[in-house]
Structure 1
Amino acid sequence: MRPEGLETANAEMIAVARLAAIVESSDDAIIGKALDGTVTSWNASAERIFGYSAEEIIGRSVNLLVPDHRLDEGSKILDQIKQGQRVEHFETVRRRKDGTLVHISLSISPIKDETGQIIGASKIARDITKHQQAEDALRRSLKDLADIKFALDQSSIVAITDTEGTITYANDKFCEISKYSKSELIGQNHHIVNSGCHPKSFFQQMWAAISLGQVWQGEIQNRAKDGTFYWIDMTVVPFLGQNGKPYQYAAVCSEITVRKQVESELQELNEELESRIIERTAELAQINQTLQSEIGERQQIEEALQQSQQMLQLVINTFPQRVFWKDKNFRYLGCNTIFARDAGLESPEQIVGRDDFELAWKESAPLYRADDQFVIETNVPKVNYEESQVREDGTFFWLRTNKIPLHNDAKEVIGVFGSYEDISDRKQAEAMLQEQEQFLRSIYDNVEYVIFVLDVLDNGEFRYVGWNANAAKGSGLSSAEVAGKTPKEVFGSEAGEEITQALSQCLQVGTMVTDEKRLMFQEQEFWSIATLNPLHNSEGKIYRIVGTSFDISDRKRAEVLLQQQKEQLEHALKELQQMQMQLVQSEKMSGLGQLVAGVAHEINNPVNFIYGNLIHANEYTQDLLGLLRLYQQHHPNPHPTVQAEADAIDLEFLIDDLPKLLSSMKVGADRIQKIVASLRTFSRMDEAEMKEVNIHEGIDSTLMILQNRIKTKSDRLGIEVVRDYSNLPLVECYAGQLNQVFMNILSNAIDALEESSKDTSGLRQDLIESSELAEAEQNSQNSNTTKLKEPYYFPRIQIRTELVDQNHVSVHFIDNGIGIPEHVKQRLFDPFFTTKPIGKGTGMGLSISYQIIAEKHKGSLQCHSLPGQGTEFVLTIPTRQS
C-alpha cells in the first residue's frame, strides 16, 4: 500500500507537467515576471517571437524588449497589476533580439502566492504584425478604390441592372448623356433609353449571351430624354452568383456618336464608289467581251490569276481582323489595310521588306521576333494569346494574337502567318468591372446600414449567404458565423419566424417588399425598416433575396413618447374643457337657482297673504249678502233714494257675481302657489346632496317652468305633452342636476318642434281663420296615440318612464320633430358643439347632461333619431347609487 502523501505529490507533479506542456505548446508567448520586471519564465513561442532563448532572457529585465519610446508603458501596466487588475488585449510594439519591431497584443494577469499577496505577473503576448500589415494594406486599398471610382466616373458611362433589365445603378456620365437624372433612371427598365433602331433579334442575341454568363460587346444606338440619339460602344459583363448564374449585369460604355457619324459618311462614299466601280466594270466587261475572241489562252490564264490575286487581296483587306505574313527572316511579305494603318503606313504595299524594328512598335519588336522565331522553328502554331502594342501616336493597345507557320508545297516552313484583334476596349471594360466590384464591395462593407443576402432553396427554406460589417457589428455575429444558417437559427424562434414570414411574402409577390419590423434579439427590442429585393435567374425563378435594414429603434421610441404626450395633452384638454364647461354651467345654474328661489320666495309671501285673506273676505261677503237678503225680505219697499242707488249699481248682478269673483281670485291664488312650488322643486337649492326623490315631480316641475313655450301662441300651435308614467320607486340622485338634464332635453325638443312648425306656418294661419282650430287642438289634447289628424301637423312630446330590471329606471323623451342627421348625432354630446345660430346656444347643455348622467349617476344617455322621423332621448340611471 502506497503512502497517501506520495500519491498527492505524484498528482501534483503530473498536474505541473501537464500545465508546462500546455504553456510550451501555445502559439502565444507566455512570460512570467516579478514585480521589479525581472523575467522568471519564458516559453518556446516567446523565443520564436522575440528571438531570445530562455537562458538569454530569464533573470534580465523585461524592458530589454521595450523600445525607448514605449518605456513609460511598463510603469502604467505595473500600477494596474499591483492593484490586482488585469490588462487585456493591449496592442503595442516590442523589439526583437535582431532589433526589428514586432506588433503584439498583450494580456497580463497578476500572480498571487498562497496568502493572496501579489508577487508577480503572467504575460501572454500574441504576434499581430501580419494583422496590422493587412489592416494598413486594406486602408491603402480603400483609398486606391475611391480614386479609381472617381476616375471611372469621369471617363466612362457605367450602369448596373438586375436580371430583368431594371436599372439599379447609374453614374453621372450616364445621366449626362441620357439627359435623365439618377432618380429617373434607378428602378426603370433599360427600355427607357431604347431608340427602336435595332431589331428584336439584336437584343435577343445579347441577352442569350449574358444570361449564360458570357461577356457581350457591341455598338448600340440609344435615345436620350430630349429625343436625341447617341451611339455607345458597350461591354456587358455578368456578375455570377455561387450557383454560377448571373444575378446582375454591369455595362461599361464609351460614346462613339461622332465616330458613327464619320463611318456613316464613309459608308455613303463607299457605296457611291462601289456604284461607279460596278458601272466601270460593266463597261470593261463589254469591252472585254468584244476583245475576248482575240485573246489567247495564256492571256486568259494570266488575267484569271491576276483577278484571283486581286480578289484575295480584297478579301484580306475586308477581313475584320488585322492580317500579316512574313518570311523566315521575319520581314513582312504583305498585310491587309487595317494592319498597315496600325503600323502607321498608308497602304499594305509600304510594309513589304520591312521588319518590326522599323515600325511604330519597335519597342515591342523583340517580343514579336521571339514569337515568330518559336513558330518557325517549332512548326507549332501559337494562338489566342494576349500581348500589348504601341501605335505610331503612342497609344497603348491590347491584342489577341494568332500566329501559324506558312508551308510550301514540300511542307517546309517558309514563314509565319499572323492575325490579331484589338481587345483594348474589352480589357478596359474588364478592369473597370473589377474596379466596380471592388467599389461595390467597399460600399457593401462600409455603409451605415445593414445589408444581408439569403439563398432561396428548392424546399422553400431561406439560408444566409452572409451580411456586411454593419450587420456583424450590430448582432455580434460575423458573416461567416451566419453563413448557411436559417433566420431561426440566427435570431431564435420568435424573431426568426417574423423574418421568415417577411421573406415568404417577398417570395410570393416576386417584387421588392418594404416593411417595418419589431424584433426581439438577445433580450432587446429592435425596430427596423427592411427592404427585400428578390433576384431572378434566367428561368424567372427567385433564387436569392438581398435585403437592407435601417435601425429605427430611436425613432420608434420617440414616436411612442410623442404619442403618450399627445394622449396626455388630449386628456388634459378634454378635462380642461369639461371643467370650464362645468364651471360656466355651475355658475349659471347657481345664479338661476338663486334667482328662481328668490322669485319664488318673494311671490310666495304676498300670495299667502292674499290667499289667507280671501277666506275671511269670502266669509265677510257671505255675511253681508245674508244681511242684505234679510233687509230685502223685511223691507220690500225701500226708500226711493236707496232704490235708486240699488238700480244704479245693479244690485242683483253684484249679489250674483261677487261670490264668483272671490272664487276666481281663489283659483288664481292656487295657480300662483302651484307655480311657486314648481319653481322651488326645480331649483332644489336645499337639496345639493344626493337623496331619494320622485322623478315624476322633477319632470312635472320642469314642464311647469316651460309652460309658456309649450302653450299655443299666435304664430304656432301648442305642443301636446303626453305623460306615460310608470309606478316608479323613489330614486337616489342629485335632484337639482337631474332637473337640469330634463330642462336641457325638453328645451331641445321644443326647439326642434318649433323648427318643424315653420314648415306649417301657412297652414296654421288658415286654421286660425277657420273654426277647425279649436277642433284640431281638442282632438290633439284628447288623443293618446302618436298619430295626428291629416293633413295637419301637431307638435307633440311624449314622456315615458319605466322600471328596468328592478335596479334601474329609464325616462324616454320622444318628439315628432324634424329629427337629427347622422353626422350631427355623432357629435351631439361633444363640448361646445351646437347647430344653433350664434347667440341661440352654447353647445354645453347636452354635454353637461351626458356628464351628469354618466359620471355623477353612473347611468347612460342615448339618442335615437332619423331625419324627418323625430328624436328619442333615453335616460337610464340606477335606483341606488351606493
Structure 2
Amino acid sequence: MMFGFFHYPSHVNSFIPHGHCYLWKTGLVWLHIISDATIALAYYSIPLLLLYLISKRKDVPFNGVFLLFSAFILACGTGHWMEIWTLWHPDYWIAGVLKAFTAIISIYTAFTLIHLIPQALTLPSPAQLKAINKDLSHEIIERIKTEQALLRISKAVESVSDAIGIADVTGKSIYQNPAFINLFGYTVDALNAAGGPVAVYNNPEQAQSVFTAIGNGQSWRGEITMQQASGKTMQIDLRADAIKDRTGKIIALVGVHTDITERKQAEAQLQTAQQFMCSVIQAMPIAVFVKDASDLRFVLCNRAAQELVGASADEILGKTDYDLFPQAEADFFTQRDQEALTSKKVIEIPEEIVHPKSGNGKTRILHIRKTPIIDSQGQPKYLLVIREDITEQKQIQAALTASEAKFRSLVENANDAIYAMTLDGIFSYLSPNFTRMFGYEISEFLGQSFMPMIHPDDVPNFMEFLHKVAQTSQKQAGLEVRVKRKDGTYGWITSNTSPVIDTNEGVVSFQGIIRDITARKQAEALLQQQAIELAQTLKQLQTTQSQLIQSEKMSSLGQLVAGVAHEINNPVNFIYGNLAHANSYTHQLLNLIQLYQSNYPNPVEEIQQEIEALDLDFLIDDLPKMFSSMEAGAGRIRQIVDSLRTFSRLDEAELKAVDIHKGIESTLMILDHRLKLKPNQPQIQVIKDYGNLPLVECYAGPLNQVFLNILANALDALEDSLIQGKLTHNQPQISICTQQLPSKQIVIRIIDNGPGIPEQVRQKLFDPFFTTKAVGKGTGLGLSISYQIITEQHGGSLQCISSPNEGAEFIIEIPVAQMNK
C-alpha cells in the first residue's frame, strides 16, 4: 500500500506517536493533516493582515493589542503545525510547552483588553463623529466665504503703490498686493511658512504691540523698522487697522506699508554731515572765523578762535575786528579783508604779530589766510578767516637752533666717535673724533659703507645688531666688534645704536656712539688667560691632593692588611700544624676505646651509664668529622691571609717581576664575598681565560689596586642592574682574559655583560672626580688613579669599550719589562 510508511513512526521513545490514536488510517490521518495545515495557514495570515493595517493607519489607537493578538494567533497556528508533527514524532513536551506559551499570551491579552475596554468606551461614536464633522464643514464654509469677500476687496488695491497685506484673525496671511511682494520679497505662502506677517518685523515686541492694538479694534500708525526676506532692514510708515463685519466682529487685519528708508537715510546723512562739519570746525586746532561780507561782522567762530582772542562765542559773534584788536591791527585786518573780497582771491599773511584786547594780553604770532565764499550769483557772501597760532612753533624753532649749536659743540668735543648711518649702512655723519680713533679722514668714509672697517668674522654680528634695531625700533647697546684702523691693525669698539623714527613710526636711519675698548679687551684677555691658568692649576692641585689622600689611604690600608695578615698567620699556622697531631691522637684514642669494647663488651653499670650519657657512638662518628672541618677552616684562613699579603705587596714597593695571575686571584679572593650566591639573585660567575704569561716587571701593589677598582665597578654595575631589573638576561658574569702580545706587551681584558656605559659617560670615565654613583658611594677617583697607574707608572694604556645594553670591556696593556727604571 503506497501510504504504508505511516504505520512506521520515525521517532521512538517512551511515548507513541499521535498517529497510533488514529490507528494509522490513511483517510483519517490525511483529514487531520489537511485540517491542521489549513487552520495554521489561516492563523498565520491574520497577523500579517493586522500588521499591514497598523502600518498603514498610524492613527489607529491601541495598536499594542493588535500585536498581542498577532502573537496569540501565531502561537495557535504553530500549535496546529505541532499537531501534524506529533502524528509521527511523540514530542509531547515540546507541544506542551508551546501550549503553555499560547496560554500565557492568551491570559496577558485578556488582561490587556480588560485594562483597555474603559478607554475604548470613551472613543466617539459614529454619530458623534458625524456631528463634529458637520460643525467643522460649516466653519470651513464660513471661512471660505470670508476669504472670498476679502479677495474681492483686494482687487481694488492691486494698483496701489503702497504695500498692503491682509491677515485673518489668527495672524495667517491671506492676501498681499504686488507692491507688498516687491517690497518684502514674500508671497502669501512664503510669508506663512516664515511664521506669518510677524516675520517682516525687526522687533518681535513691537510686532506684538501692533497686533494687540488692531486685535482690540484700534488703529495703529507710526514709523517702524521692518525687514525683507533677504534680511535687509527698512524704515516703514505703517498704518494698521482691523477689518470688521456688519456686526462689528473682526474678520481680518490689514496693514498699509510705505517705504520711507531713502527719505530717512537722506535726513540722517544731512544731519550727520552738518554735525560732522560742525564737529570738524570746532575740533580744528587753528582759529576759524567766518565774517559777513557786507559788514565784516563775525557770524561763526570755533573754540580755537575763542581761545585766541580770549572771549566766548557770545562775545565774538556780531562784533568786528575793532572790538577785539587794537585800532592799528584792526585797520590792517580790515584792509586785507577788503582786498580778498574785491579780488575774490585768497589772501595769505605769513606772519602777523597781534595783541588781543581780551584774555591774558600775550603777544601772539599768527599765520593768517583769508578766503572769500562766493554765492550762486558769483558775489562774495562770507569771508573765511583762518588764523594759525605759530608762536610756539617760532619759539621751538629758535630753541632748536640753539640746541643744534650746543649739540654740535658737544659732539665735536666728545671723546667717543658719534655717527649717523642710513638703513643701508652708509655713513651720513661722523664726528671729528672718528679721525683720532681710527686714523681715517672723515671724508674717506662719509657717504661710504661701514663694511670695509669691520673684521670679517664680526660682520654677521654687526648686521644682526642693526637688523634688531630696525625691527624693534628700540635702542640697542653693548655691541662689541673689531674694527680695522688705517695702519692695518685691529682694535675693539663698543657701539650703542638708536633708531631714527619718522612721523609714521618707521625707522628711517640709525645714529649711535662708538667707544674704543681695545685697552679694556686686552686687559680682559690677559685676566681671562690668567684665570684659565689659575683654574687649571687649582684643578691639578685638587686632583693631586685627592690622589695623594687616596694613595695614603690605600698605603695605610695595605699596611693594616699586611699587619693583620701577619698577626693572624702565626696562630693560624700553629693551629693548622697541630690539627694533624690532634687528629692522629684522637684516632688512637678512639681505636683504644673500640679495643676495650671488643674485649670487655659488658662494662660495669657506671661505665655503661656514662657511655649512654655521652652518646659514645655519635661522638666516635662525629669527632673525626669535626677535626676535618677545623682543618679545612684553618686552611681557608691561611689562603685568605696569603691573598691579603699578595694583594698588599708591601714587600714589593719597587719594580719587581711578578705573576700577574696571582695578583688577579688575590683580588678575586678579596671580592669573593660579593661573588657568592645571594637571596633572590642569580650568582655572578667569573670566567677565567688565562694565557701563558711570563713574569711581568711592574709595581705589584698599585697594579692590584687597578684590578680591584675595575672588578669592583663591574660588580657594582651588575648588582645595580639585577636590583633595578635592567638586565636583558639572567646570567650575570665577568670574564677575565690575559694574553701576551708579540710586541713584548701583555693585555688584560676584564669584560662584564652588564647594562653597558653610554657614550657621553664613557668619554669622562677617567676624569678625576667624575662618578655616576650616588653621593657617598663613590669618590670619582678610582678609575682616574687606575689610569694614572697604568699610563704613568707602567707606560701602558687603559681603555674602555662599551655601548648601552652590550656590557663593558676594560683593556689594560703594559710592557713585560719597564724601559725607564
TM-score normalised by L of structure 1: 0.44
Q: Whose Rg is larger?
A: 2
> Which is strand-richer, 1 or 2?
1
